[in-house]
Amino acid sequence: MLSKLKLLVLVCFFIPSLVLAQSVSCKSGACIPIMLQSISPLNEVKLNSAADNLLNKDAFPKGDRKAARKLNEDALKQLNAGNVQPAIALLKQAVETDPSDVEISSNYGFALLKSGNYAAAQNSLSKTLELNPRRTSTWLPLAEAYAGSGQAQIAKQAGLIAFFYSTDKDKAQAYYLKQSQEQSIAPIKAMYASLVGDIGNQQVGTSTAPAIQAPKAAPAPAPVTQAPSQPSQQRFNNQTTALCGLGIMVFKKDNNFASKVIATAQNPDASKEMMINMVDLFDLNTQTGLKKLMMQAQPACKAVGVDLLQ
């Protein structure tokens, strides 16, 4: 009887307390070190608890989004042309015009990184994380800024967080591998090489990450002499539907739609109908990023008889 009572106390009091103990209480920038410490070895509860506390959108008032986006567009043209300092000036103005725009804020930090001002990039990108603590495209340049300033261990931790929150692990792995081979700045190149090793050995915040392998050249497509068999066509329909549908889900964050995608992927006969519904549900002309995604998916979708861009 006594042993059962001890077990009951353990289950009812100790275990819930242990879970609660992993949650953290921090404010703004103080949460970033906690997230860095929680990624390897992974403590997902602590990592996400710190991320929740880091989120502080109310500190960034909304401004003139249209004017800020125009400045951002002009800045990216300068950046792509190699004119880093003019890009920084435009992005600084864009951030001041609309402090709440996470993309512009992230671009400003990225431009500072490209200028070699690693300290300023760290400060800027750390503030950007308060707008979205789980944004891979903020964590990764922050990791490079840490690496560039000689903080190798922190840089790797930030790179692992970027990978952990990535919605496309295969794409992230390919990018890390490419940077480990082609990056021109030695400490940043070393950071990517270390990340490739950790991810390849599954020493990262995921239990399912496959080892990174060098990309193989795609074989030349064989000429089509006959229609694929019905099972092959069904599998193709399933994959196309799932990819297009999940892409829209990412942009719209529509969980109900995600459920429909999963259901459709299990029912090949509904594939064509689902793709038609996707066009009806969303106005592609007003969703620039979504339209770009659909243009990439267009060849595959047309192959099953649906023109997504009509």
How far is residue 88 from each of residues 70, 107, 113, measured CA to CA in Å? 14, 9, 10
What contacts 24+ positions apart, CB below 8 Å, involve 230-238?
233/304, 234/268, 235/268, 236/303, 236/304, 237/268, 237/271, 237/272, 237/304, 238/264, 238/265, 238/266, 238/268, 238/271
21: CB partners within 8 A, 6+ apart? none
pLDDT band with cut points at 50, 70 and 90 for residue 216: very low
pLDDT of residue 178: 95
Residue where the block lists tokens 């992927």: 265
Q: How far apart are CA 10 and CA 66, in angstroms?
A: 57
Asked if residue 8 has pLDDT above 90, the reply is: no
Asked if residue 261 has pLDDT above 60, the reply is: no
pLDDT band with cut points at 50, 70 and 90 for residue 22: low
Average pLDDT over every residue of 243-270: 50
Q: Which residue has the higher pLDDT, 219 or 137?
A: 137
Q: Which residue has the higher pLDDT, 260 or 138?
A: 138
pLDDT band with cut points at 50, 70 and 90 for residue 161: very high
Asked if residue 3 has pLDDT above 70, the reply is: no
CB 124 within 8 A of CB 105: yes
pLDDT band with cut points at 50, 70 and 90 for residue 29: confident
Q: Which of 225, 229, 234, 309 is nearest to 268 (CA)?
A: 234
Q: How far apart are CA 278 and CA 109, in angstroms?
A: 35
Residue where the block lists tokens 């689902």: 274
Work out the mean pLDDT of the chain and round it to a whole number: 74
Which residue segments constitute the domains of the chain, with CATH numbers given? 65-200 (1.25.40.10), 230-303 (no CATH)
Average pLDDT over every residue of 7-18: 38
What contacts 24+ positions apart, CB below 8 Å, involve 22-25?
22/46, 22/49, 23/49, 24/49, 24/50, 24/53, 25/53
Neighbours of 242 (CB within 10 A): 17
Asked if residue 93 has pLDDT above 60, the reply is: yes
Tokens of 27: 């404010």
pLDDT band with cut points at 50, 70 and 90 for residue 231: very low
pLDDT of residue 232: 40
pLDDT band with cut points at 50, 70 and 90 for residue 306: low
- Measure the N-to-C terminal CA separation of the chain; round to a whole number of Å: 73
Top-confidence range, 168-182, 193-207, 223-237, 282-296: 168-182
**105-155 pLDDT, tens digit each:** 999 999 999 999 999 999 999 999 999 999 999 999 999 999 999 999 999
Residue 39's DSSP bridge partners are: 42
Q: What is the CA radius of gyration of the chain?
A: 23
Where are the alpha helices (H) located in 39-168, listed in sequence order?
Answer: 44-54, 65-80, 84-97, 102-114, 118-128, 136-148, 152-164
Residue where the block lists tokens 């068999």: 229
CB 132 within 8 A of CB 55: yes
Residue 42's DSSP bridge partners are: 39
pLDDT of residue 27: 82
